[in-house]
Amino acid sequence: MNRSDLTEIIKNSASELNFDLCNITSAESFIEDRDIAIDRIRSGKMSGLPWFNESRVIRGTDPSTLLPEAKSIISVGMNYYQDRKPNPNKHRPMGKVAVYAWGKDYHKVVKKRMKLLVENISNVLGTSFKSRWYIDDGPMLDRAAARRSGIGWIGKNTNLLSPQLGSWVFLGQIITDLELDIDLPLKKHCGTCSRCIEECPTKAITDPYTIDNSRCISHLTIENRGSIPTELRDSIGEWVFGCDICQDVCPVNVKSQIAKEPLFKVNTKQSLDLINLLTMSEHQFRENFAGTPIMRAKYHGMQRNACIVLGNIGSPDSIPALTHALKSDSPIVRGHSAWALGKIGGHASKLALREQLSVETDPEVINEISAASSRITV
E strand or H helix at 161, and its extent?
strand 160-161
Whether residue 183 lies in the annotated active site: no
Q: Which of 20, 39, 136, 212 is catalytic?
A: 136
Q: Residue 288: CA atoms inside 13 Å, Cβ hemisphere, count? A: 16
Name the β-bridge partners of 72: 26, 176
Residues 145/42/332/348 CA torsion (nearest 10 deg): -100
Spatial CA neighbour of 180 closest among 24, 345, 358: 24
Those residues with Cβ within 8 angstroms of residue 126's Cβ, 6 or more apart along the chain or in another chain: none
Helix axes 331-344, 347-357, angle to 10 degrees: 150
In terms of Cβ atoms closer than 10 Å to its own Cβ (0-12, 13-18, 19+), residue 266 is middle
- Local structure of 75: helix, strand or coil: strand
Rounded Cα distance between 304 and 240, Å, is: 9
Rounded Cα distance between 113 and 248, Å, is: 28
Give one word for 150, left, alpha or beta, with left for phi > 0 and alpha for psi -120 to 50: left
E strand or H helix at 303, and its extent?
helix 299-313
Are 207 and 260 a contacting pair, CB within 8 Å?
Answer: no
CA angle 200, 206, 209 (to 5 degrees): 95
Phi, psi of 303 (to 5 degrees): -70, -40
Catalytic residues: 136
